[in-house]
Chain A
Amino acid sequence: MTITFLFLAAITIIGTAAAMTLRNLVHCVLSLTLGLVGLALLYIDLGAQFVGFTQVLVYVGAVAILAVFAIMMTRSAEPSENTSSPFRVSGALIALAVFAVLAWAIFSGTNFLPTSAPQPEASVNQIGIALMHQYVLPLEVIGVLLTAALVGAAVIAMDEVRRAR
């Protein structure tokens, strides 16, 4: 556990915790972006460069922008959310209990694992070769899934317009 890891983990924790607690939704998405950037840097620090860049491309570049667009189009940027939710305390308690159980399992179950390992190599070259040979069927399935999701999202979002015409 190095200084780099602690720094990136702190960025991730602060960003995601702010994303789930802030009142204004635009601030929420911006701090979520900070947390996801921290997570991507953590992937790069762990040796998975391609996954880190994919994370930046997909989450920071696409999902956060999409969420900002959805917030703007649903006019929920005003902090008018009524905070008297009946699940506020119980939901936080449930999440805290889940974290306690997971932390207990981690601390009691990973004593036998090695404390350090040599940095494995995952170059883009290797990933491309693996994608084109061993994982070519999942790649095709993901392509079909993304196409279906693209068409489905467009159809769902413009259904009303077509009906009104």
Chain B
Amino acid sequence: MSPLSACLLLSSFLFSIGLAGALTRRNAILVLIGIELMLNAANLNFIAFWRYGANPSALTGVMFTIFSISVAAAEAAVGLSIILAVYRHSKTINLDQMNSMKG
């Protein structure tokens, strides 16, 4: 197995575990963490393809990963503050009990 395949396999595992967490956990904070894990899997893919890819001196993968980390940080801050606002409003962050807009 080539090192690129190992990196891609690890990143697909990270994506799957994040997806499983986002689908099965009922706590909004853990769902957000699962989404962060999926973003991290994409970042690992960028770094792996930059490392073993064709033109590594262009720094494209590194740049994309830096910008992606910044966007993920902004997303985490806004998401957690939305969770805090929802908790203050409905006194729960269990996703099964947030059904006031259910049709």
**Which A residues are closer than 8 A to B by beta carbons?**
1, 5, 9, 12-13, 16-17, 19-20, 25, 28-29, 32, 35-36, 39, 42-43, 46-48, 50-51, 54-55, 58-59, 62-63, 66-67, 69-71, 73-74, 76, 81-82, 85, 87-88, 90-92, 94-96, 98-99, 102-103, 106-107, 110, 113-117, 120-122, 126-127, 130-131, 135, 138, 142, 145-146, 148-150, 152-154, 156-157, 159-160
Contact = CB atoms under 8 A, between A and B. Distances in A.
B3 A1 contact: yes
Interface string B5-28: 111111011111111110111110
A70 B7 CA distance: 32
A129 B10 CA distance: 31
Contacts of A46: 7, 47-48, 51
A121 B57 CA distance: 7
Contacts of B63: 127, 130-131, 135, 138
Interface residues of B, number: 71
A154 B88 CA distance: 15
Contacts of A149: 73-75, 77-78
Contacts of B57: 120-121
A1 B20 contact: no
A73 B71 CA distance: 24
A58 B69 CA distance: 8
9 contacts: A5-B3, A16-B17, A20-B34, A25-B29, A32-B37, A42-B10, A59-B69, A87-B24, A92-B20
Interface string B77-91: 110111111011100
A59 to B, nearest CB: 8
Contacts of A28: 30, 33
Contacts of B88: 160
A157 B85 contact: yes
